[in-house]
A = this chain, B = another copy of it.
Amino acid sequence: MLNNKSNFNTAQADDLVELVSTKGKYYIFKLENNKELQTHRGVIKHNDLIGKKWGSEVFSHRSSSFYLLKPGLYEWISSIKRNTQIMYPKDIGYILLKMNIIPGTTVIEAGTGSGSFTHVLATYLGESGHLYSYDKRKEVQNLAEKNILRIAKNNVTFINQDIVDGFAQTNVDAIFLDLPNPYDYLEQVIDSLKSGGYFGTLLPTTNQVNKILIALEGLNFNSIDVCEMLLRFYQADSSKLRPVDRMVAHTGYLVFARSTYKE
């Protein structure tokens, strides 16, 4: 399993591993006996990695240097297949804190999408929490399940269902809608969220933000909040410290609210 402590401090066959070059280019893949990895700087044999200590420097057949690392959540998110839009770590980290998604909480997400957010949620809810992940697109959800197969998933329930009919769960701590039209499902959210619970969504356009604000203002919500996260990377060179030339300028606007109790 990705995130558990293995008994070994060396890479083993079937482990998910990361190789990162000195320039920061990385490869994430499963170690398999007798396989080879083609990098932009030469070939590396899987057999040469098996049994190596995590953190070791290794070399391609062209003598290029790489580091052998156990990938964490961040690297895993960046490596999964992007058949749907993924959520970025910059947004996910903020959502966790803002929606108080901590070990032991019960959360609903819709849709499942690529499963990257699903994975992060399942990780942070811990064994005492539970995630219900809805998606009406069977194929999309299957792919996400496959992505999450690598990790323990006894705290995730995938539900292949349109949320227009509502969620089966009630008194839920937090609901996150990763859908283009979350404003169409807010009554369903109200029905399943515990009073004072957290609602969140991520929307690319201001038009969508406008619509969700109108919808939230008309229902039992309070503490409505809109924000965006900008992440700027720097060249990690002590003699030329400066922001990199280009950056991701936009992923989406984050919108949050809490449900109001009504008798």
Contacts and interface: CB of A to CB of B under 8 A. Distances in A.
B248 A53 contact: no
Contacts of A226: 233-236, 241
A214 interface: yes
B74 A242 contact: no
Contacts of A236: 213, 224-226, 255
Contacts of A72: 97-100, 198
Contacts of A99: 72
The main secondary structure of chain A at its interface with chain B is mixed
A125 B35 CA distance: 36
A28 interface: no
Contacts of A5: 104
A240 interface: yes
Interface of A: 3-5, 9, 20, 22, 24, 53-57, 67-70, 72-74, 77, 89-90, 92-100, 102-104, 120, 123-124, 126-127, 171, 194-198, 204-207, 209-210, 213-214, 217, 222-250, 253, 255, 258-261
